[in-house]
């Protein structure tokens, strides 16, 4: 596994070489997400006569939105987003096929390296925002919340990678797959609780969504960090996530193996 | 003069239609993608309105008209302009703008209107269907003039969407890269998906003028609810005219700095 560490650390070094672009983008994202949600939830609570949602004050709602937004940034490395599809279209896949390591493993190491850098940077921004803005309504997370959060984030990063990889193997047969990746992002927004806490969804929807892979990418890590997840729920969520990991891993590998048979490698 | 440009534009459309038919699977992906995109916003407001009667003074039916209007604006700009956003950057980097500059028509028009995604017309029809559904659920009586003016404002809003992005893209003449401004834009455009009444103070002022996201769908919706709110109509006309002039000015200034990458 030494190669995995080397690929990952190489990606980390590359991401750290140009930090300013990330920080500027992150700062603007924090401003946009926080201000949009501040105004929106203020208007919603105002029309409810100032009555907050159980467990969610205005500041916690804004904090929740920011956490899920930053999770998206952590899971989606823009330079890796369509990497597998690009390799197939450009013919760059050729060089990976002759490497003595798994192609998905290589790509995952790159993805993980970028995500870990994003996680550290996003966490710093989130901590600053939390202390300055939300501390009066929500204390900083304790050790158990942090452990749950980190485990779920790592699971989320891995699931996002393998689901994106599955979709990108379609590039063996179709001329464009980016729309599938964007489509999947939209699903996470609505079904993953990225825009609104799942606690505000109808009970039946929450029950159904529990068994899907979407909340692991947004709502569950956010709820864990906000101290709203019991250990029992945490282990159930981890179980569901592991099932989806296996399912998508099998599909991705099957699809890739079939696709490589058709692949002509032109353009490399 | 105008007919000449109309004729040229019809040729652009014909070319786009033949190209769209070549990639049918991708066309299907794109349609499905946009349907999910629409579902996100409709679902979002459905959930919000299950907890409250009003948001920014608008009830559920009004919010659905507003957000459906935004979806039509988005679908129109995706069809008639979005492919140009990427193409323009490519043209600039490869020096391919030369080809456009030597033609005996406005280069701004040629670059801006040449790239049409004909396949996305399906999405326009889906978005318009959603808007019709939302309007049918809106209980207040409206005059036919209100509907006509609203339709015109929606078309103007998609043009404004393009003008705003094109103004940002033209920063490439000075900065050689547009990735930063574009990523900020696509993050900030979420402001357009919220009613302008929820914003206050300086932010509201900015959203109605300098960065006119609230003019995309919220101002047209307000004009409709006011049964042709002429104040809203004039506001929109002023913003569109302002950004049109800004575009033309930036284009002229930018071309003076342009040095072909191939030349």
Contact assessment for residue A267 and residue A180, using Cβ atoms and an 8 Å cutoff: no
Contact A176/B29, CB-based, under 8 Å? yes
> Which of B23, B29, B180 lies nearest to residue A180, judging by beta carbons?
B29
Q: What's the confidence (pLDDT) of residue B22?
A: 67
Contact B55/A44, CB-based, under 8 Å? yes
> Which of B37, B54, B200 lies nearest to residue A186, judging by beta carbons?
B37
Q: What is the pTM of this model?
A: 0.89
Q: What's the confidence (pLDDT) of residue B263?
A: 43
User: Which of A27-31, B1-5, B140-144 bottoms out in mean pLDDT, i.e. has the lowest?
Assistant: B1-5
Which residues of chain A neighbour B45 with C-beta distances below 8 Å? none
Nearest residue in B to A182, CA atom: B33
Nearest residue in B to A36, CA atom: B191
3-state secondary structure chain B: CHHHHHHHHHHHHHHHHHHHCCCHHHHHHHHHHHHHHHHHHHHHHHHHHCCCCCECCECHHHHHHHHHHHHHHHHHHHHHCHHHHHHHHHHHHHCCHHHHHCCCCCHHHHHHHCCCCHHHHHHHHHHHHHHHHHHHHCCCCCCHHHHHHHHHHHHHHHHHHHHHHHHHHCCHHHHCCCHHHHHHHHHHHHHHHCCHHHCCHHHHHHHHCCCCHHHCCHHHHHHHHCCCCHHHHHHHHHHHHHHHHHHHHHHHHHHHHCCCCCC
Average pLDDT over residues B113-142: 91
Most confident among A4-13, A113-122, A144-153, A257-266 (mean pLDDT)? A144-153
- Say which residue, B47 or B30, is predicted with more confidence: B47
Nearest residue in A to B44, CA atom: A190
User: How far apart are the C-alpha atoms of B47 and A201, rounded to whole Å?
Assistant: 6
Nearest residue in A to B188, CA atom: A32
In a domain, A267, yes or no: no
Alpha carbon of B102: minimum distance to chain A alpha carbons (Å): 32
In a domain, A201, yes or no: yes
Q: What's the confidence (pLDDT) of residue B80?
A: 92
* Cβ-proximal residues to B151 (8 Å cutoff; 6+ apart), any chain: none
pLDDT at B18 over 90: no
pLDDT at A27 over 90: no
Average pLDDT over residues B148-177: 93
Domain that includes residue A36, residue range: 2-261
Alpha carbon of A155: minimum distance to chain B alpha carbons (Å): 24
Nearest residue in B to A201, CA atom: B47
DSSP A27-92: HHHHHHHHHHHHHHHHHHHHHTTTPPBTTB-HHHHHHHHHHHHHHHHHH--TTTTTHHHHHHHHTT
CB pairs under 8 A between A and B: 85
Assign A80 a pLDDT band (cuts: 50, 70, 90): low
Contact assessment for residue A233 and residue A148, using Cβ atoms and an 8 Å cutoff: no
Q: What's the confidence (pLDDT) of residue A24?
A: 81
Q: What's the confidence (pLDDT) of residue A261?
A: 86
B49, B67, B122, B184: best to mutate for the A interface, most A CBs within 10 A: B184
Assign B167 a pLDDT band (cuts: 50, 70, 90): very high
Phi, psi torsion values for B34, nearest 5 degrees: -70, -35
* Cβ-proximal residues to A191 (8 Å cutoff; 6+ apart), any chain: A209, A212, A214, A215
- Say which residue, A115 or B5, is predicted with more confidence: A115
pLDDT digits (tens, 9 = 90+) for A84-139: 888 888 888 888 888 888 889 989 999 999 999 999 999 999 999 999 999 999 99
Alpha carbon of B73: minimum distance to chain A alpha carbons (Å): 18
Percentage of chain B with pLDDT > 70? 97
- Say which residue, B19 or B92, is predicted with more confidence: B92
Query: Domain tally for chain A?
Result: 1
Which residues of chain A neighbour B40 with C-beta distances below 8 Å? 186, 189-190, 195
Alpha carbon of A221: minimum distance to chain B alpha carbons (Å): 20
Contact B203/A21, CB-based, under 8 Å? no
Residue-range domain boundaries for chain B: 2-257
Assign A173 a pLDDT band (cuts: 50, 70, 90): confident
Average pLDDT over residues B161-170: 94
User: How far apart are the C-alpha atoms of A222 and A205, rounded to whole Å?
Assistant: 18
Average pLDDT over residues B232-238: 96
Contact B194/A40, CB-based, under 8 Å? yes
**Residues of chain A contacting B, Cβ within 8 Å:** 21, 24-25, 28-29, 32-33, 35-36, 39-40, 42-44, 47-48, 53, 174-177, 179-180, 182-183, 186-187, 189-190, 195-196, 200-202
Which residues of chain B neighbour A201 with C-beta distances below 8 Å? 47
Q: What's the confidence (pLDDT) of residue B23?
A: 66
Alpha carbon of B127: minimum distance to chain A alpha carbons (Å): 16
Which residues of chain A neighbour B37 with C-beta distances below 8 Å? 186
Contact B26/A179, CB-based, under 8 Å? yes
Average pLDDT over residues B36-56: 93
Contact B52/A187, CB-based, under 8 Å? no
Alpha carbon of B117: minimum distance to chain A alpha carbons (Å): 14
ipTM of the complex: 0.87
Q: What's the confidence (pLDDT) of residue A77?
A: 72
User: What is the pLDDT of chain B when averaged over all its residues?
Assistant: 89
pLDDT digits (tens, 9 = 90+) for A194-239: 999 999 999 999 999 999 999 999 999 999 999 999 999 999 999 9
Give, in order, the Cα–Cα distances in Å from A167 to each of A76, A173, A184: 14, 11, 9
Assign B40 a pLDDT band (cuts: 50, 70, 90): very high
pLDDT at B19 over 80: no
pLDDT digits (tens, 9 = 90+) for A143-163: 999 999 999 999 999 999 999
């Amino acid at each position: 596994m030494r190669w995995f560490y080397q690929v990952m650390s190489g990606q980390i070094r590359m991401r750290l070489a140009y930090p300013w672009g990330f920080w500027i983008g992150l700062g603007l994202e924090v401003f946009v997400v926080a201000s949009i949600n501040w105004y929106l939830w203020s208007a919603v609570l105002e029309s409810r006569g100032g009555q907050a949602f159980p467990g969610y004050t205005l500041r916690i709602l804004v904090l929740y939105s920011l956490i899920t937004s930053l999770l998206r940034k952590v899971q989606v490395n823009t330079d890796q987003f369509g990497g597998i599809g690009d390799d197939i279209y450009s013919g760059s896949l050729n060089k990976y096929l002759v490497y003595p390591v798994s192609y998905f493993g290589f790509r995952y190491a790159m993805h993980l390296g970028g995500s870990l850098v994003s996680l550290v940077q996003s966490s710093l921004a989130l901590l600053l925002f939390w202390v300055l803005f939300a501390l009066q309504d929500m204390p900083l997370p304790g050790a158990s919340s942090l452990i749950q959060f980190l485990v779920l984030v790592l699971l989320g990063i891995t699931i996002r990678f393998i689901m994106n990889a599955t979709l990108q193997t379609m590039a063996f047969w179709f001329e464009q797959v980016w729309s599938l990746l964007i489509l999947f992002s939209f699903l996470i927004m609505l079904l993953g609780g990225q825009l609104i806490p799942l606690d505000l969804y109808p009970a039946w929807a929450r029950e159904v969504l529990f068994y899907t892979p979407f909340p692991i990418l947004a709502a569950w890590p956010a709820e864990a960090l906000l101290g709203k997840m019991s250990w029992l729920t945490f282990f159930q969520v981890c179980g569901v996530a592991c099932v989806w990991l296996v399912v998508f891993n099998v599909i991705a590998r099957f699809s890739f193996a079939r696709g490589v048979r058709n692949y002509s490698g032109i353009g490399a | 003069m105008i007919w000449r440009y109309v004729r040229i534009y019809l040729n652009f459309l014909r070319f786009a239609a033949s190209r769209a038919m070549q990639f049918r699977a991708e066309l299907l992906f794109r349609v499905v993608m946009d349907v999910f995109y629409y579902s996100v916003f409709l679902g979002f407001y459905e959930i919000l309105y299950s907890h409250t009667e009003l948001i920014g003074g608008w009830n559920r039916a009004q919010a659905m008209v507003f957000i459906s209007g935004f979806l039509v604006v988005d679908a129109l700009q995706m069809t008639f302009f979005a492919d140009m956003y990427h193409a323009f950057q490519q043209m600039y980097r490869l020096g391919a703008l030369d080809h456009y500059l030597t033609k005996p028509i406005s280069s701004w028009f040629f670059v801006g209107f040449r790239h049409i995604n004909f396949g996305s017309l399906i999405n326009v029809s889906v978005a318009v269907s959603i808007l019709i559904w939302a309007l049918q659920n809106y209980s207040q009586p409206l005059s036919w003039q209100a509907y006509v003016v609203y339709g015109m404002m929606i078309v103007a809003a998609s043009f404004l969407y393009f003008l705003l992005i094109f103004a940002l893209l033209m920063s490439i003449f000075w900065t050689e890269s547009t990735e930063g401004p574009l990523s900020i834009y696509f993050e900030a455009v979420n402001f357009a998906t919220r009613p302008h009444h929820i914003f206050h103070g300086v932010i509201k002022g900015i959203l109605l003028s300098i960065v006119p996201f609230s003019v995309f769908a919220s101002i047209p919706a307000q004009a409709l609810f006011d049964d042709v709110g002429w104040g809203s109509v004039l506001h929109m006309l002023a913003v569109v005219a302002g950004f049109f002039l800004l575009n033309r000015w930036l284009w002229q200034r930018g071309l003076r700095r342009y040095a072909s990458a191939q030349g």
